[in-house]
Chains A and B, each alone.
Chain A
Amino acid sequence: MLEVKNVVKKFGNYTAVSNMNLRLEPGTILGLIGSNGAGKSTIIRTLTGVYRQEEGEVLYDGQPVYDNVDVKRDLFYFPDELYFAGATVKDTANFYRCFFPNFNLQLFYQLCDSFKLKKSQPIFACSKGMKRQVMMNAAIASGVKYIYLDEAFDGLDAVARQTYIKLFIELSHEKGTCVIVATHNIREIDHFCDRLCLLYKSNVIADTTPEELLSRRTRAIVEMPENADLTAFIEEHVSSYECRNNKYTLTFTKSKEETKDLIDTLHPLSVEYVAMTLEDAFVCELEESGYAIKNIEVV
């Protein structure tokens, strides 16, 4: 079990992670999502023992991770910027075999075959996506309890992405592997994570499940009569809105039932409830936390 207790990570005077707390049971797939520079990679580096936190503790089954070889044998870190120690696919496998006692070479090659990667294929001749596939295969074959993926799906095609997501889900269900995914692209991990940490400005602004995150908000397209004034209503009840030809797309920080009652008070011409995506919910969360890029005009 991973326990993160009051972790603070600083770079000089800059606080990259502020007072983070986390408890991760085996088999969890955690998504670390946040804006650019929110501290996702720093958290992963701290959790994998690359960085040493200034305050707090990172414990795996009660053991600190920093410079702890025994703990690190159970962690695989897929960095944002890949590094290949070997020149070929085979070398990469051999490299990781030295470090991870449960590395499954057979599985690695099996995965490589599935993704049409040759053993002798030079890494430098691989495309960005292929390099990620090699590393993904290494991560899956490593046989560790915790896999950390930092922007790991970036560059993978949709088929490969979905395949790896299935494989990771299988790993977590069958072997109890924890997968921690850091990304800013929520679409990549839709239907993948069973828990989400939303990060903004070095802080965890939400630690929730995808379902809960989605249920927090309701979006409706409301058609209003001409000259209807919704200013007061929007200011009071709506977290974000958009208006086109008297059709308002309103997002509420309320459940669907509560929203329904509210909208009825407007006497709209028509109402259509729209299913929110994880990304929509994430954007709303960030906007509510103060992250919004507005007042930009192209022309």
Chain B
Amino acid sequence: MQLKTSKSFKPLIGFARSQIHSFIFSGLIFTVVMVAISFATGSNPLFGYEVQDISYIDTKTMNFAIVLAAAAFLFAAYTFKPFMFRNECDTFLSLPIRKTSLFALQTIFGLFCILLSCLISFCMFYPAMNLNRFADLSVYATAVKSTFCEIILPACFYYLLAVTLIAKTKNFLSGASLFAAFCLFSFFISKYIVANIGIDAMGVDLYEINAANQTFYFNAGILMPTKIVLLLLRLVFSLGSSVVAPAVLQTIVQICLIVLVFAIFLLSLKTVNLGDFARPFMPKPFLKVLPFAILLMVIPFLLESSALFVLLILAGVLAVISAVLLLLFIKQKKRAIPLFAGLLVLFLIPSFIPLTNAPYSAKLTYEMPDIEDIECVYFDALQPMSMENYDYSLSVNRYQFTSPDAIEKILHLHETIVDNMKKFDLMGTESVGIDSPIAVASGGCEIFNVDEYADYIYSLEDGEEEETEVFEEKHRRDFYVNGEFDVEAYEAYKQAEEEYQIEQENAGEWGLFQTEDISDNYWMYISDLGLSIEKKTVNDLNVYGNDDYSGDIVEIPSYVARFYYQLKDGRFFCRIYTPLPVSWIETDMQAIMQTDEYLSKEQESAGDFYE
């Protein structure tokens, strides 16, 4: 018995040992290349972040986290090398080791590395911001999604590219060098395009631009060449936007992109000849479905929709996993095919449901408002990753007018507002640079020190100010009874609220976010949770040059800062400023939007109040 065990495990050990060797070697090379490029360009070409500008978290931590995570994923991807190269494939398949064991071992290797990578990114990204957020389960979902979007998929794309180059050059070092050169080239080309051709014309949904220092974030980190093609396509199509409706144009562009990426993917598959060499490992149906499964993961990138993103990725991943499981456990091909098809369909059906239901999947073109047109700017520096703040943001948003359309706009950043925000952070309203009042909402009042320079403070906490007149602010959740929204109770509440507002206005007091009452140099500040409103006047606005503030103030938008612009014509825009990947914010905003759904509908029904 002992002899038999040793006999069956020895090949596995031999195989594992042989893989670890190349695994570490290749991983080291990739890591070195990436770190070198990272330092050389001041950014990370793998993910495209201009990490130097991320001042709110530890830049070095993030940089290394990205590089390490990328390396880990490359390791993971590299474990599948035996499936890619003919000589390895031949050698391993001829050895006395079961194919299923071989495949399982490779998968275990890959999964281990993926887990390792997740761990690295979790441990390095998240503590840099706020550990408390881990108390909230939704944070995990966000984190998983972000990790997947920002690390796994880009790494896989890059891996495909790297493997293709290595396979083509038939030499690891040559391939790796070409890969590195390609990354650099793409990086500079992208930068050139962004800097010279223009941003708005191309609809830079995934870019965050800081024109002041000419840096940019390559947000989702998908293949830069794909990104370039995407941008060029958009540029081309934007020329025809005068004759074609934007929505149609978007659709055409997206279809073109999907076809393009699919073609690229198939081409890469052909290059590495996976079809031929993997055939002994994989049943034909799996091979046929594999490109589609991966395509499923690609589409959301192109559609840039978070809901689709998660679900389609999930569908793709599950399809692949199910195929592998089938391969491992079901040897009866005739049964495996329909079962696989059934599973795939099963995974696909739910993934398409959000297509019709998710309002934020809509894409809109937009134009930034001129600064002169801005009536008022609301700045919401909430830390919305906690559920309390979601609820709170709900109460704020009820007055700050976000809408489904605003989700698109949230993804864009206007350099002027960034400038203003910076000035705002450090200098107060005197130096804001626009003659607009600014309203600030923040849960972090103690670090913001707003009360020292705000004209009015509205606190939703049970204030210490005795004279504060209180209107009982109810949360939306209060109107839910057994999971159903109590319309009557809500209507009654709204009625009471309106009466209260009118009463306040008649009394010469402020209504909450009644913008007509906010005149120049007024700061409105809403502090943390609470049911009362307090008013406080602070005359001394001059915090400029006060070092005591600057340190804290930098901390304010540690995660996200939102701007809402009310224009003079009544339209509203919502924008977001963040040093972090957009997809993170997207998820966050989705959560906000979900809680605000009823408001959105109400706003829509109110006519053209929101764009």
Q: Which residues of A contact B (CB under 8 A)?
A: 11, 45, 48-52, 67, 69-73, 75-77, 79-83, 85-87, 91, 94-95, 97-101, 148
Min Cβ gap B24→A in Å is 11
Give B133-158 interface residues, CB cut-off 8 Å to A.
none
**B residues near A77, Cβ cutoff 8 Å:** 90-91, 94
B541 on the A face (CB < 8 A): no
Partner of B93 from the list A50, A80, A86, A101 (CB cut-off 8 Å) is A50
Per-residue contact bits, chain B 14-31, to A (CB 8 Å; 1 contact, 0 not)? 110111011001000000
Tell me, rounded to whole Å, the shortest Cβ–Cβ distance linking B244 to chain A: 41
With contacts A69-B97, A83-B91, A95-B14 taken as known, whether A51 is within 8 angstroms of B280 at the C-beta atoms is yes
> A91 CB to closest chain B CB, in angstroms?
7
Q: How far is the CA of A73 from the CA of B4 in the complex (A)?
A: 14
Give Cα distance in the complex from A71 to B91, angstroms. 15
Q: Tell me whether B94 and A75 are in contact (CB under 8 A).
A: yes
Task: Tell me which residues across on chain B come within 8 A of A83, comparing CB atoms.
Answer: 85, 87-88, 90-91
CA gap between A99 and B17 in the complex, in Å: 12
Also in contact, A79 and B90, with CB within 8 A (given A91-B21, A95-B18)? yes
In the bound complex, how far is the Cα of B8 from the Cα of A85, in angstroms?
19
Structural contact, B94 and A50, CB atoms closer than 8 A: yes
Closest to A11 in B: B276
Is the CB–CB distance between A49 and B93 below 8 Å? Answer: yes
Q: Write the chain B residue with the least CB distance to A100.
A: B96
Q: How far is B21's CA from A84's CA once the two chains are assembled, in angstroms?
A: 11
15 A-B residue pairings within 8 Å (CB atoms): A45-B94, A51-B280, A73-B96, A75-B94, A77-B90, A79-B87, A81-B86, A83-B85, A94-B14, A95-B14, A95-B17, A98-B17, A99-B11, A99-B97, A101-B7
Residue of B at shortest CB range from A65? B94
| Additional A-B contacts beyond A69-B11, A77-B90, A82-B87 (8; CB < 8 A) | A49-B94, A52-B280, A67-B98, A77-B94, A83-B85, A85-B15, A94-B14, A99-B97
Partner of A69, one of B90, B96, B276: B96
Bound-state CA distance A9–B182 (Å) is 39
A97 touches B14 (CB 8 A): yes
Q: Identify which of residues 272-286 in chain B touch chain A, using a CB-to-CB cut-off of 8 Å.
A: 276, 279-280
- Report the minimal beta-carbon distance from A155 to chain B, rounded to whole angstroms: 14
Note all chain B residues with C-beta closer than 8 A to A87.
21, 25
| B423 contacts partner chain A, Cβ-Cβ < 8 Å | no
A239 to chain B, nearest CB (A): 37
Residue B10 is within 8 A (CB to CB) of chain A in the complex: yes
Cβ–Cβ < 8 Å partners of A79 in chain B: 87, 90-91, 94
Q: How far is the CA of A5 from the CA of B441 in the complex (A)?
A: 81
Chain B contact residues, majority secondary structure: helix
| A-chain residues with CB within 8 Å of residue B7 when the two chains form the complex | 101
Closest Cβ–Cβ distance, residue B4 to chain A (whole Å): 11
Give the one of B88, B95, B280 with max A CB within 10 A.
B95
Query: Are A48 and B87 in contact, with the CB atoms below 8 A?
Result: no
Residues in A with CB closer than 8 Å to B93 are 45, 48-50
Q: Select from chain A the residue with minimum beta-carbon distance to B12.
A: A98
B95 touches A99 (CB 8 A): yes
Q: Which residue on A lies nearest to B96, using beta carbons?
A: A72
**B67-85 Cβ-contact flags toward A at 8 Å (1 or 0):** 0000000000000000001
Q: What 1/0 mask marks residues of chain B from 578 to 603 whose CB sits below 8 Å from any chain A CB?
A: 00000000000000000000000000
- What 0/1 pattern do residues 379 to 405 of B give for CB contact below 8 A with A? 000000000000000000000000000
A3–B9 alpha-carbon span in the complex (Å): 29
Report A-chain residues with C-beta under 8 Å of the C-beta of B94. Answer: 45, 48-50, 72, 75-77, 79, 148
**Complex: A51 Cα to B10 Cα, angstroms:** 24
Selected contact of A67 from candidates B17, B25, B99, CB within 8 Å: B99
Cβ-neighbour of B18 out of A11, A67, A85 (below 8 A): A85
Report the minimal beta-carbon distance from A153 to chain B, rounded to whole angstroms. Answer: 17
Contact call A86/B21, Cβ cutoff below 8 A: yes
Whether the pair A50, B90 counts as a contact (CB closer than 8 A) is yes
Please, how many angstroms separate the alpha-carbon atoms of A148 and B91 in the complex? 12
> Which residue of chain A has its CB nearest to the CB of B82?
A83
CA–CA, A72 to B101, complex, Å? 15
**Complex CA–CA separation, A48 to B489 (angstroms):** 77
User: Smallest CB–CB gap between B602 and chain A, Å?
Assistant: 59
Does B13 sit at the interface, judged by CB under 8 A? Answer: yes
Q: Pick the contact of B96 from A50, A91, A99 — CB < 8 Å?
A: A99
Give the docked Cα–Cα distance between A105 and B462 (Å). Answer: 82
Residue of A nearest to B16 (CB): A98
B18 touching A81, Cβ below 8 Å: no
The smallest beta-carbon distance between A114 and chain B, in angstroms, is: 24
**Minimum distance in angstroms from A273 CB to a CB of chain B:** 44
The answer to whether A72 and B90 have CB atoms under 8 Å apart is no
Q: Say whether B90 contacts A99, CB under 8 Å.
A: no
> Which of chain B's residues have a CB closer than 8 A to the CB of A52?
280
Max chain B CB contacts within 10 Å: which of A11, A52, A73, A83? A83
A86 to chain B, nearest CB (A): 7
Which residues of the partner chain A approach B89 to less than 8 Å between Cβ atoms? 50
- Shortest Cβ distance from residue B14 to the other chain A in the assembled complex, whole angstroms: 3
How distant is the Cα of A69 from the Cα of B21 in the complex, in angstroms? 24
Which interface residue of A82, A85, A148 has the most chain B CB atoms within 10 A? A85
Q: CB distance B90 to A45 under 8 Å?
A: yes
